[in-house]
Amino acid sequence: MTEVVLFHHAQGLTRGVVAFADALRAAGHVVHTPDLYEGRTFDSIDEGLEFVHGLGVGEVAARGVRSAADFDADVVYAGFSLGVLPAQHLAQSRPGARGALFFHACVPAAEFGTWPAGLALQVHGMDHDPFFADEGDLDAARELVAQLRADDPGADAEVFTYPGSEHLFADSSLAAYEPAASALLTERALAFLARH
């Protein structure tokens, strides 16, 4: 059993994010899903991002970081897209993390300092997703994994890409949902959690 703190994407804590958390719970894990929007959800990424920009991206990320005070440090931090910001910040800066699962996003490790030695990582995204592949996230993920493996050839660090261009393909409540890719992502995430 692994404890996971899972942060939602720009559209909020949708039914699909909750369903993903429930799939992890069904496998025996404890999953926390902080609601950084206090109950609000949005019908599109653009609407969600408009809300985020009104609050400030830094404030949304800070809400995620503050929410972690409610949980033990010995957890896996996970995030969908925007939720990767607090997940990555916490994974890199809060001592005791067991691993990091990043879905649809990754930022250069230098944004939050250095990557902790031995901290396991999985990053997932579609190979033609304009947010993930075209805005630098895929490159950042590959660079981070390459560095971790250079430092430790046995490092548990992987980037998984899936054919397609949908951004939030693992959220079953959205039109972007891709069942086959989502099932494979879930299988890989569960294998990761079983190791940590």
- Read off the pLDDT of residues 32-48 as tens digits, 9 standing for 90 and up: 999 999 999 999 999 99
Distance CA 121, CA 144 (A): 9
pLDDT of residue 150: 94
What contacts 105, CB < 8 A, 6 or more positions away? Answer: 79, 80, 81, 82, 84, 85, 125, 131, 132, 137
Residue 29: both structure tokens together: 């894990």
What's the pTM?
A: 0.96
Query: How far is CA 121 from each of CA 23, 28, 49, 88, 193, rounded to the nearest angstrom?
Result: 20, 20, 26, 10, 11
Six token digits for residue 47:
């609407």
* Full 3-state SS string of 144-173: HHHHHHHHCCCCCEEEEEECCCCCCCCCCC
pLDDT at residue 96, rounded to an integer: 94
Count of H-run helices and E-run strands, the chain: 6, 6
Distance between CA atoms of 162 and 79, rounded to whole angstroms?
18
Domain 3-195 has CATH 3.40.50.1820: yes
Distance CA 30, CA 4 (A): 6
**Could you say which residues of the chain have pLDDT below 50?**
none
pLDDT of the residue at 90: 96
Query: Which residue do the tokens 């980037």 mark?
Result: 159
**What is the predicted pLDDT for the residue at 93?**
95
Predicted pLDDT at 61: 86
How far is the C-alpha of 131 from the C-alpha of 17, rounded, in Å?
19
